[in-house]
Structure 1
Amino acid sequence: MRLNAIVLSLIAPSQAALRFGCSTVSIQRLDPLVEPGNTPSAHVHQIVGGNAFNATMEVRLLYQSSRATLISNHTDDSTIDWTAVMFFKHTNGSYKRVPIMQNAALPNGINGGMTIYYTQHDFNGNGKDKITSFKPGFRMTVGSPTTPTLDAAKKNVGLRYVCLNDKNTRFPELPDFPPKPCKGGIMTVHHFPSCWDGKNLDSPDHQSHMFNTGKEAFQPAGPCPASHPVKMPQVAYETLWDTAQFKDMWPADGSNPFVLSFGDQKGYGTHADYLFGWKGDSLQRAMDSSCMFNACENGKPLKSQSVAEMNKCQAKKRVTENLDGCKSSNKKISCQVQH
């Protein structure tokens, strides 16, 4: 009996590692998780995922997306993901939004967006842990725009920046903005915690129902604690910002010219939001498979759509403002807002 158990453990199927290219569904000043109903919210976000994105994002509305900006799962996944937007601050006090580039591993032509991962191990293998899918209504955030110091930022494991030599650069990971111009741009990385308390779909701070045992750079996470015993997918975002186009406008004094949309010129407060929107048991079935990254597409087991189809997906514009030539107000980027 013991020998049979050992053999079964050795032949147990590995769990999937999923990676999606996602085009931008909207860039606007809304935050339905932290500021539900506020139009506009405190700062501008880049959003990918389902085109039902709006100011409240009730669960019933989330699943009304007619399409999504994910290159895979366009009929199964209406999840919505967002992060703060990066701006370049000119010496005259005005701001210009930094364009977003596609990841090197993805097909050409993706309109901005992010690369999103659902893993349980690392970049090189799938691992053997049983992964439990998120549940309908699940949501979470990682990081905080009020993170005050570099030491505090260092403790936010998995929230990092990479100064790109090219789009394939992944190291070193930095807890704040790179101190010099980056030849290939800047990548922001957001790793979410993957240990769930097994009870709450959300919490007042949108974080306490989850626990982070992760390490840097897609290294295997540690075991989940008794307080948060359920292992869920390790969700991670990569966003590549085309900061290289501003290399000739770097301030003469060498100071960092980039700022996140909530006024953070250090990068300490980088953060991200996640609203689960997979339909039925589609994510569980995907995580139970043994595919890895691109091999999970084209019906094996995930459905796919073309880049052109993905780029067509846009959420309704609910807050209209000029995101270029904006002025600073009370340490925040203040553009002309039109309702």
Structure 2
Amino acid sequence: MEILDILIIGAGPIGLNCALEAKKNDLNYLIIEKGTIVNSLYNYPLYMRFFSTAEKLEIAEIPFISAAPKPGRQEALEYYQGIARQKNLNINLYEKVLQLAKKEDIFEIETSKSKYFAKNVIISTGFYDVPNMMNIPGENLEKVKHYYTEPYPYAKQKIVVVGSSNSSVDAALETYRKGAEVTMIIRNSEISENVKYWVKPDIENRIAEGNIKVHFNSELLEIKENSVIFRNKNGEIQEIDNDFVLAMTGYLPDFNFLKNSGIDLQDECLNPVYNPETMESNIPNLYLAGVVCGGKDTHLWFIENSRIHAEMIVQHIVTKQK
């Protein structure tokens, strides 16, 4: 029975960085990834651009060369997947971790394809896999999309975009420019202040000139085959014609997996318990890295400020093994 030094769950940028640190320290490691390399980035909108500049997305001091000030999705895929190829990282793709349990000092990891054993486990699963559901009638209709990739399917269609974040704004602007009739339904009183600074004036101007309709302080109540029902800022119930709903309501970590792995979750944000100096959870030798550390506050951690988790974790493991 082979016992790995480290098993890493998730081949996102931070999971890759953990593997690079493990390799640098001659540790026997394996990454298990349920999709492709940097699977979340692969599923981002096709024309998405990062808020961060290229150097802030770099891992392992490997230069990220970008022709644009803000790299896009395709450049990031080339960069991270290129690192995985160049460094010949040990990754099993399209294999989902089903269960994680610790027996004495060894973790037993059951996946959709096999079973593994490891002294240490790093959970670096991000947050893009579980949509934040609205829990309203009609949300299960085929016309409701919680993921947006490109605008072309929505040409000449009546679109409702739910939310005011970067993903909502991008979807609204792109579909409008491909001929969609766009209405935004937003709980808050304005476009989110976190929207990319070079995009925010664009959406505000399109709203001001009436090309994109918006209902602030409003709430979507029901989705029907050919319409949606919502409550407007005055408390009145309105119904408008609709072909597609782009529910850009955010995403969440897989809290069930964390809980089933024995990790304690705190307060209403479900923040996982970990030592901020070592990233070790309440389960000894079980570590957290990247966005998953933030619970429901998925804007707390991102590539730029969680790159350091890899070195912190691997150095703690190395120190304990001495």
RCO comparison, higher one (Cα < 8 Å, 6+): 1
Determine which structure has more spread, i.e. the larger CA radius of gyration.
Answer: 2
In terms of fraction of residues, the more helix-rich structure is 2
Q: Same fold (TM over 0.5)?
A: no
- Band the TM-score falls in, shorter-chain normalisation: under 0.3
